[in-house]
Homo-oligomer: A and B are copies of this chain.
Amino acid sequence: MVDEEKHCPIIRPTLTLVLVDSEIELVPKKYWSHPAVVVNAKKRKKRPSMVLLDSSLHHSLFKDNDQKNRRGRPDIVHQYLLLSLDSILNAEGRLEIYVHTRNDQLIVIDRSTRLPKNYNRYSGLFEELFHTGTVPTGRDPLIRLIEDMDLPSSLRYIRSKKGGDDRPTRTVLLHPDGEPMNTWELFGKLILNEGIENIICLVGGFSHGDFRSAVEENSDMKLSLPGGTLKVWTVISELLVGFRGIGS
């Protein structure tokens, strides 16, 4: 008689974070000869084509106010990655971390990545990533960038990586217009009441405006945390710690 219990792996709920429409990109070609780009690239001994768009350096590029306020926020991605990678949830092996960008690239982050804490070193690393597609270069890159991945493609990729769709899954959109709820209430409902084992949370990776991707069509529910429009690091903290409070 085979002891089935023994061969059955222990299933613990896992959380997948996707930062959606993140405002991270290299300086677009049409701005390569703009003085603000040339001066800053020279200071850093980089070619303009190799530099991340950064609102704190390049705000004069955009005349349109929506663009000026929104584009060039690699710092948001940095904060998101530091918080996620260094979280207790990640140390417990119960977290997956993705970045989807405004230009429909999907960045896949290995959970063992040790990201530079310093912003300028992180920028250098991600400039290499956007140029070569992988960092560190070599056989086993820890961070990979995949092109032509709109949100539906990204979610298909993420679900397939988790062994297909056979585990009960919910995709939750964090949005100021969503149903007001704390994260521990959300996870309590999904994990304890509904037996969901695999929760994917979509969080906007931008500071102004709304999602560009079709987030509503690609999620099962829409949730709003207390306080309305929050910073990305605030939302990520609430998710990481709220999940641990329930899913442990």
- Interface residue ranges, A against B (CB under 8 Å): 43, 54-56, 75-76, 79, 82-83, 86-88, 91-92, 117-121, 182-184, 225-227, 230-231, 233-234, 237-238, 240-242, 244-245, 248
Quick one: copies of this chain in the complex? 2
The minimal Cβ–Cβ distance linking A214 to chain B, given in whole angstroms, is: 28
- Chain A interface, >50% SS class: helix
The minimal Cβ–Cβ distance linking A201 to chain B, given in whole angstroms, is: 15
B119 touches A83 (CB 8 A): no
The minimal Cβ–Cβ distance linking A51 to chain B, given in whole angstroms, is: 15
Residues of B contacting A87 with CB < 8 Å? 234, 237
B234 touches A86 (CB 8 A): yes
A241 to B238, CA, bound (A): 6
Residue of B nearest to A76 (CB): B117
Q: Beyond A91-B227, A226-B88, A238-B241, is A83–B233 a contact (Cβ under 8 Å)?
A: yes
Residue of B nearest to A240 (CB): B237
B230 touches A56 (CB 8 A): no
Residues of B contacting A88 with CB < 8 Å? 225-227, 230, 234, 238
A238 to B182, CA, bound (A): 15
A234 to B88, CA, bound (A): 7
The minimal Cβ–Cβ distance linking A174 to chain B, given in whole angstroms, is: 13
B119 touches A237 (CB 8 A): no
Instruction: Report which of B43, B227, B230 forms a contact with A43, defined as CB distance below 8 A.
Output: B43
A231 touches B182 (CB 8 A): no
A240 to B241, CA, bound (A): 9
Q: Beyond A119-B120, A121-B56, is A82–B79 a contact (Cβ under 8 Å)?
A: yes
The minimal Cβ–Cβ distance linking A86 to chain B, given in whole angstroms, is: 4
